[in-house]
Amino acid sequence: MRLRYPTNIKIIKVPCSGRVAIIHMLKALEEGADGVIVAGCLEGDCHYQSGNLWAKKRVSYVQEILEKIGMEPERVAMYNLSAGEGPRFAEIAREMTEKVKELGPSPIRDAKKLASKKSKVEVAA
Amino acid sequence: MIMARPKPIEEIIDEIKDFNKVLIAGCDGCVTVCEAGGSKEVQVLASALRLYFTKERKRLEIDETSLTRQCDKDYLHELLDKIDDYDAIVSLACGAGVQFMAEMYRKKPIFPGVDTCFIGVTEERGVWAERCQACGQCILASTGGICPISRCSKRMLNGPCGGSEKGKCEISPDTDCGWHLIYERLKELGQLDFFAEPTDPKDWVSSRDGGPRKIVREDVRL
């Protein structure tokens, strides 16, 4: 299809969105990701019956955690689309990129950069 | 099993914010079954805390571990070599585990990471319900296997009371009347004579009225 979507998105393949655990989303944010998309099949179309419904619940749980620790819950989002919807995927990728741009860079990445700069200065001193 | 629920993360943040290195210690026993304090919950809590403190630009190192059981000294001993590396411990075990950890490592501040709720069962995934209050004198033999101490809101020994309506308790339409359940089960078992016979007052000394309890069995002591 040669569809264009932003290059900042890193795709991690899983057999089913139900494989995505809470810790996977949190780890991505810990590593400095600005946002996380969980892309599952359409509701009612899960090959494993309810994997996408589990994913939806886990995404909501992560959003709750983010709210409690003072981070924007919109940094994590669940989308449902079928494997045949390439143009929709490109649209979602653009949509999420725009949303994250509005929110600004991850406060974690900024803080990590600052911390590593500080430690370099400490080593130099 | 002992059922617990995770404490609000804000409460844990407040407890540990002034330390530099904290260990989150889970328990692979009961609290793993009720998905409140096992290794999975340790990972999630530790990650969320790291996100918070990194965001706040506070240097607080958070490590993770999970012990087979925290209500057993042999397993608590596993922390002996590394406990001094930490300023404080957040234990995700039940209240018993937290206290045993505090008894063993007397110089370390120990904080509870869960609220311990009751002895209960997993009715379905995500639904846990109370079944036992550990009163120390089991009367299930005469009540159709349904405990009036834990299932009746008033802990009545001779029920139901006037608050029972259509099988539900007056405290909430979602709460079954324990004595209604007992009656129905005894009827099914053909043991309604148990129901007709009044139960004598219970000696609550074996429950909390006798103070903190202890079981000492010489036959199994080393």
Cα A2 to Cα A5, A67, A86, A96, B34: the distances in Å are 10, 37, 10, 20, 48
Q: How far apart are CA B133 and CA A10, in angstroms?
A: 52
pLDDT digits (tens, 9 = 90+) for B39-49: 999 999 999 99
State residue A17's pLDDT score.
97
CA distance A20 to chain B (A): 13
What pLDDT, on the 0 to 100 scale, is given for residue A124?
63
Determine the distance in angstroms separating the CA of B41 from the nearest CA of chain A, rounded to an integer. 9
B54 vs A23, A27, A111: nearest CB: A111
Q: Above pLDDT 90, what percent of chain B?
A: 97
Beta-ladder partners of B110? B89
CATH number of B2-118: 3.40.50.2300
Cβ-Cβ contacts under 8 Å, B40 against chain A: 21, 23
Question: Do the beta carbons of residue B52 and residue B10 sit within 8 Å?
Answer: no
* Distance between B149 CA and the closest CA of chain A, angstroms: 35
Q: Which two tokens stand for residue A124?
A: 């130099």
**Which of B45, B51, B60 to mutate: most A Cβ within 10 Å?**
B51
Which pLDDT tens digit goes with each residue over B161-179?
Answer: 999 999 999 999 999 999 9
pLDDT tens digit string along B119-134?
999 999 999 999 999 9
Min Cα distance A85 → chain B (Å) is 33
Task: Say whether residue A83 is in contact with chain B using an 8 A CB cutoff.
Answer: no
Sign for the CA dihedral angle at A116, A117, A119, A123 comes to positive
Which residue in the set A22, A27, A71 is minimally distant from B55, CB to CB?
Answer: A71
Q: Give the alpha-carbon dihedral of A28, A30, A36, A38, to 10 degrees.
A: 50
What is the model's pLDDT at position A123?
Answer: 63
Confidence of residue B79 (pLDDT cuts 50, 70, 90): very high
Q: Could you give the ipTM of this predicted complex?
A: 0.92
Reported as a single tens digit per residue, the pLDDT across A21-38 is 999 999 999 999 999 999
CB contact under 8 A, A26 and B44: yes
Domain boundaries, chain B: 2-118, 135-201
Of B9, B47, B54, the CB nearest to A27: B47
E strands within A8-111? Answer: 36-40, 76-80
**DSSP notation for chain B:** -EEEEEPPHHHHHHHHTT-SEEEEEEESSHHHHTTSSSHHHHHHHHHHHHHHHHHTT---EEEEEEES-SSSHHHHGGGTTTGGG-SEEEE-S-HHHHHHHHHHSTTS-EEE-EEEEEEEEEEETTEEEEEE---SS--GGGTTT--HHHHSTT--SS---TT-BTTEETTEEEEEPHHHHHHHHHHHHT-HHHHHSPPPPP-GGGTGGG-S-----TTT--
Mean pLDDT for the stretch of residues B177-184: 98
The tokens for B201 are 């007052």
Report the C-alpha gap between B146 and B128 in whole angstroms: 16
> Rounded CA gap, B207 and B210, in Å?
6
pLDDT for the residue numbered B17: 97
Chain centre distance of CA B80: 25
Structure confidence by residue, pLDDT tens digits, A63-95: 999 999 999 999 999 999 998 999 999 999 999
Q: Could you identify the residue written with the tokens 């045949």?
A: A84
Task: Tell me if chain B has a CB within 8 Å of the CB of A53.
Answer: no
A24 inside 8 A of chain B by CB: no
Interchain pair B55, A112: CB under 8 A: no
Minimal C-alpha gap between B218 and chain A (Å): 46
Residue A11: its pLDDT value, please? Answer: 94
Give the pLDDT band (50/70/90) at residue A122: low
Which residues make Cβ contacts (< 8 Å) with residue B97, sequence separation at least 6?
B27, B29, B31, B69, B70, B71, B91
Q: Scan for tokens 């290059």, then name that residue.
A: A7
Which helix or strand (DSSP H or E) is residue A93 part of?
helix A86-103
Stated length of chain B: 222
pTM of the complete model? 0.93
Contact of A122 with chain B, judged by CB distance below 8 Å, is answered with no
**What is the pLDDT confidence band of residue B182, given thresholds at 50, 70 and 90?**
very high
Q: Which residue has the tokens 């130099």?
A: A124
pLDDT at B37: 98
pLDDT at residue A115 tops 80: no
Mean pLDDT of B101-108: 97
**A-to-B residue pairs, Cβ atoms closer than 8 angstroms:** 47
Q: How confident is the model at residue A113 (pLDDT cuts 50, 70, 90)?
A: confident
What is the pLDDT, as a whole number, of residue B154? 96
Q: Give exposure, A35-46, as e/b (b: 16+ Cβ within 10 Å).
A: bbbbbbbeeeeb
pLDDT at B67 over 70: yes
pLDDT at residue number A109: 85
